[in-house]
């Protein structure tokens, strides 16, 4: 059977605790679908949320940069849900339309030159290998 | 036959002109291998350099952010040359070891959750589809 | 024009023979869409069914393991149809919700650490290269 | 600068604690290169090891199945290091040459039919979407 | 906010000029959605159209071969829009159903043997490395 | 243990028969490494060779086009062995340096625009969906 979402009302206490933390941390009235589906595995839910919170926290990189990198990877992998959710997340963190447009250009070029490098079998310059 | 690099001394005037512009723009004594291999196709060389110069110029995103996004895509695609060259490029643009470490964590998590989304077949939340 | 499915009633004898073998082997009343579309190329249909039957037969690996591996690859590649059909196939072969959940966690982690390895440029340990 | 491995002797106490746990859990005299490189980011090291230990523990799936799925994903993504290390890990968990051979056949077929599905634009059968 | 298409009537003069050139070059009454979305970034629109016109022009390879290669890459990457648009483009350039069927078989096999090579860790024959 | 190649002298009669057919079909004195490694699984060896011979035979597409498509997919997937072997195969079938250069440009552009489409979430034009 196709995986089904777990809504808050039907969730176990373990799942509710994670949902509550997501809602508080993000100041949102409900968690988004990703968490409702992942709640089918409460251990994975807890681990993934805990990891994501740690990884996406402000640090050496700004939150908007982290969200844009997340979007860049999702675009490269063509994950439709992830593109939609991290586009929204990046905008919330401050990404403007101009920033989005430049991001897409960089992602496009990187995917292009990655293949030119593969096809021409370019060896690594000694200067890049130190 | 395996593609071979074109060194400056053996390059056509058309290729030399692009090499000269790369060297001047980046303030480097020689172009890196990518350009020497792409020089087998002078039209692609000119187009790719011209596009890259336009895309990677400072704009709404800082050059270091652009280089880190380039690195994130290259890591996702596992292009060894591109990882090495854009790691160097990002460092030159200001990426510190702490920034690199956080970048890798974001790239890793994005690649992980992209697949969790695929496997659980998570539908896009209406809020992300506006 | 977009590829169209070939229904049994309109199929050539060559295609019908493959459809009949699929229906008998799997004990299903009709073939699923994949085969109806591939039937546009009767040679590819025959070859692909023949290969799949050989590859997915019980052997050193249990059928449920083979279906779960198929699902893991499809999730990694984000093939929506393949995820849906092999999720169903794995369940038919015995995959429980708990097995599915663990499978997704492994697939997620593998996609994450694959990129950490790429980004940190980790050399193969001599012990793994023997 | 290219990422460098952190050897036990030069590691911080935080890193040493993770290395010790890996060595004890796996009963090995030293950690493999992946951990030595990831040790450049002690937070990521701890999180990744903790997640991996949880995900790869025996559960609804046997350890050898988990290692084979890890290998299947790594082969699909072409991560050379991961292929080598999880081939070794799967063998240690009980994968025989016959099991490896069947695994590769399944991974190959899945990657092939994933693309046939994409190219023929096969719609999901209603039966697979429940 | 989700990216929105720019219709001709609402486009800037810069965007209109590119749209006009696409319509004239392809002899079509309107540009397809790709260009309407990319028009959110007039610089990327101009660069991408200019590059595409140069790359897809008849040369050492026939236009139908170029369109089929474009389709092969899009199928490998599972880009649904690109598969649909380049299928149409390849047909317009002369791809018959028989050519499409053979193309899919080649793309399928290549994706399969690419992974067999990865999994068996096949070293490059010296003859292929010259 | 790392997979090892099976040389003709040590091969079973079943494997020798496939090797002989490859050598005769291609008019080469020895099979390339791919077949020597795949020979660890004689069933997969026979099936893969038989499929490849069928798929790569002249038909609606010229052999050189098929080899170039194989190369395009291998470049997109970054399979180093496959890039080297199918570059050689394409050259043997008639690919000139100019054809290779154009092929790489198409592969590069396709990988770029695939991601622009993903990122801008471009819906399929009705005309492409018939």
Task: Calculate Rg over the CA atoms of chain B.
Answer: 19
The 3-state DSSP class for residue B32 equals coil
F28's enclosing H/E stretch is none
A-chain residues near D2 (CB < 8 A): 129-130
Give the architecture (CATH level 2) of C1-57: Up-down Bundle (1.20)
Q: Which residues of D touch F78 (CB under 8 A)?
A: 78
Would you call F130 and C1 a contact, using CB atoms and an 8 Å cutoff? yes
Q: Is D60 on the interface with A (CB under 8 A)?
A: no
Q: Which value does ipTM take for this structure?
A: 0.97
For CA atoms C74, C75, C79, C82, give the dihedral sign.
Answer: positive
Decide: helix, strand or coil at residue F98: helix
User: What is the least distance, in Å, from the CA of D50 to any CA of chain E?
Assistant: 27
So what's the pLDDT on residue C68? 98
**Rounded average pLDDT over A7-26:** 98
The verdict on F124 touching E (C-beta cutoff 8 Å) is yes
CA distance A44 to chain E (A): 27
**pLDDT band of E78, cuts 50, 70, 90:** very high
Contact D40 B97 (CB under 8 A): yes
How would residue A121 be classed by pLDDT, with cut points 50, 70 and 90?
very high
What is the helix (H) or strand (E) element at residue E16, kind and residue range?
A: helix E13-26
Compute the average pLDDT of residues A83-88.
Answer: 98
Question: For residue A93, what pLDDT is reported?
Answer: 97
Contact F104 B77 (CB under 8 A): no
Q: Which of F47, F78, F114, F118 to mutate to test the interface with C (most CBs of C within 10 A)?
A: F47
- At residue B113, the pLDDT reads 98
Which CATH architecture does the domain made up of A59-130 adopt? Answer: Up-down Bundle (1.20)
- Across the interface, do E1 and B51 touch by the CB < 8 Å criterion? no
Cβ contacts below 8 Å, chain C against chain E, sum to: 18
Q: C115–B108: do the CB atoms touch at under 8 Å? A: yes
Q: Determine the Cα–Cα distance for residues E2 and E4; give it in Å rounded to an integer.
A: 6
What is the CATH topology of the domain spanning B59-121? AhpD-like (1.20.1290)
Dist. CA E41–CA A102, nearest whole Å: 8
Express as a percent the part of chain E with pLDDT over 70.
100
User: Which of A118, A120, A122 should one mutate to test binding to chain F, selecting the residue with the greatest count of F CBs within 10 A?
Assistant: A118
Q: B125 CB near a chain E CB, below 8 Å?
A: no
- E102 vs C contacts (CB less than 8 Å): 41
What is the tens place of the pLDDT at every residue in B80-118? 999 999 999 999 999 999 999 999 999 999 999 999 999
* Alpha-carbon gap, residue D54 to E40, rounded angstroms: 45
pLDDT < 70: residue spans in chain D:
none
Q: Which residues contact F50 (CB under 8 A, 6 or more apart)?
A: none
Residue F115 confidence (pLDDT): 98
Instruction: List CB contacts (< 8 A) between E78 and chain A.
Output: 78
Mean pLDDT of E38-60: 98
Cross-chain residue pair E115–D111, CB shorter than 8 Å: yes
* Cβ atoms F122, E37 nearer than 8 A: yes
Nearest CA-CA distance, residue E32 and chain B, Å:
21
Q: Which chains would you list as touching F if contact means 3+ CB atom pairs under 8 Å?
A: A, B, C, D, E
Q: Mean pLDDT of all residues in chain A? A: 97
User: Nearest Cβ partner of B40 from F87, F91, F97?
Assistant: F97
Q: B49: which residues sit within 8 A by CB, 6+ positions away?
A: B18, B21, B22, B35
Chain C nearest CA to B100, separation (Å): 9
Contacts of C78 in chain E (CB under 8 A): 78
Asked if B70 and A110 touch (Cβ cutoff 8 Å), the reply is yes
| Interface size, chain D vs chain E, as Cβ–Cβ contacts under 8 Å | 66
Q: Given this model, what pLDDT does residue E60 score?
A: 98
Query: What is the C-alpha separation between B99 and F70, in angstroms, rounded?
Result: 38
Tell if the CB–CB gap between A129 and D2 is shorter than 8 Å: yes
Contact E46, E76 (CB under 8 A): no
Residue A94 CA to chain centroid, in angstroms?
A: 15
Nearest to D77 among B78, B87, B101 (CB): B78
DSSP state of B7: -
pLDDT value, residue A117: 98
C-interface mutation test, from B103, B111, B120, B122, most C Cβ less than 10 A away: B111
Confidence band for B54, pLDDT divided at 50, 70 and 90: very high
Instruction: Enumerate the residues of chain C whose CB falls inside 8 A of the CB of residue E97.
Output: 40
Supply the DSSP symbol for C124: P
Q: Is B32's CB within 8 Å of A128's CB?
A: yes
The pLDDT of residue A92: 97
What's the average pLDDT block by block, 10 residues per block, for chain F (130 residues)? 96 98 97 98 98 97 98 98 98 98 98 98 96
- Nearest Cβ partner for C102 among D61, D77, D84: D61
| Chain E residues close to A112, C-beta within 8 Å | none
Distance CA B86, CA B63 (A): 12
Q: What does each of the 130 residues of chain C score in pLDDT, given as a tens digit?
A: 899 999 999 999 999 999 999 999 999 999 999 999 999 999 999 999 999 999 999 999 999 999 999 999 999 999 999 999 999 999 999 999 999 999 999 999 999 999 999 999 999 999 999 8
B130 interfacial to chain E (CB closer than 8 Å): yes
Domain with CATH 1.20.1290.10 in chain B: 1-57, 59-121
A66-76: average pLDDT: 98
D122 neighbors C34 (Cβ within 8 angstroms):
yes
> How close F49 comes to chain E (CA, Å)?
10
* Residue in chain B nearest D81 by alpha carbon: B78
Cα–Cα distance, B88 to C23 (Å, whole number): 57
Conformation bin of residue D121: beta by default, left when phi > 0, alpha when psi is -120 to 50? left
- Delimiting residues of CATH 1.20.1290.10 domain(s) in chain C: 1-57, 60-130
B121 touches chain F (CB under 8 A): no
Q: Is the CB of B119 less than 8 angstroms away from the CB of C109?
A: no
**Cβ contact, residue pair A41, C87, below 8 Å:** no
The boundaries of every CATH 1.20.1290.10 domain in chain D are 1-57, 59-130
Per-window interface: A 71-90 vs F, CB < 8 A: 71, 75-76, 78, 80, 83-84
Banded model confidence at residue A86, pLDDT cuts 50, 70, 90: very high
Q: Which residues of F touch E101 (CB under 8 A)?
A: 60
Q: Does A41 touch chain C (CB under 8 A)?
A: yes
Q: Does F24 touch chain D (CB under 8 A)?
A: no
Q: What is the mean pLDDT of residues B52-77?
A: 98
Counted across chains B and E, CB pairs separated by less than 8 A come out at: 14
Distance CA B21, CA A82 (A): 39
Angle, helices E80-92 vs E63-77, to 10°: value is 160
- Contact between C101 and A77 using a beta-carbon 8 Å cutoff: no
CATH number of C60-130: 1.20.1290.10
């Amino acid at each position: 059977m196709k995986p089904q979402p777990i809504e808050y009302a039907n969730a176990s206490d373990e799942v509710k605790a994670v949902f509550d933390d997501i809602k508080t941390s993000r100041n949102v009235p409900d968690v988004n679908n990703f968490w409702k589906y992942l709640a089918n595995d409460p251990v994975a839910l807890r681990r993934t949320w805990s990891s994501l919170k740690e990884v996406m926290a402000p640090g050496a990189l700004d939150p908007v940069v982290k969200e844009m990198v997340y979007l860049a990877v999702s675009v490269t992998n063509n994950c439709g849900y992830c593109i939609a959710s991290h586009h929204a997340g990046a905008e919330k963190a401050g990404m403007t339309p101009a920033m989005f447009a430049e991001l897409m250009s960089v992602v496009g070029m990187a995917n292009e030159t990655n293949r030119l490098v593969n096809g021409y079998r370019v060896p690594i310059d000694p200067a890049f290998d130190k």
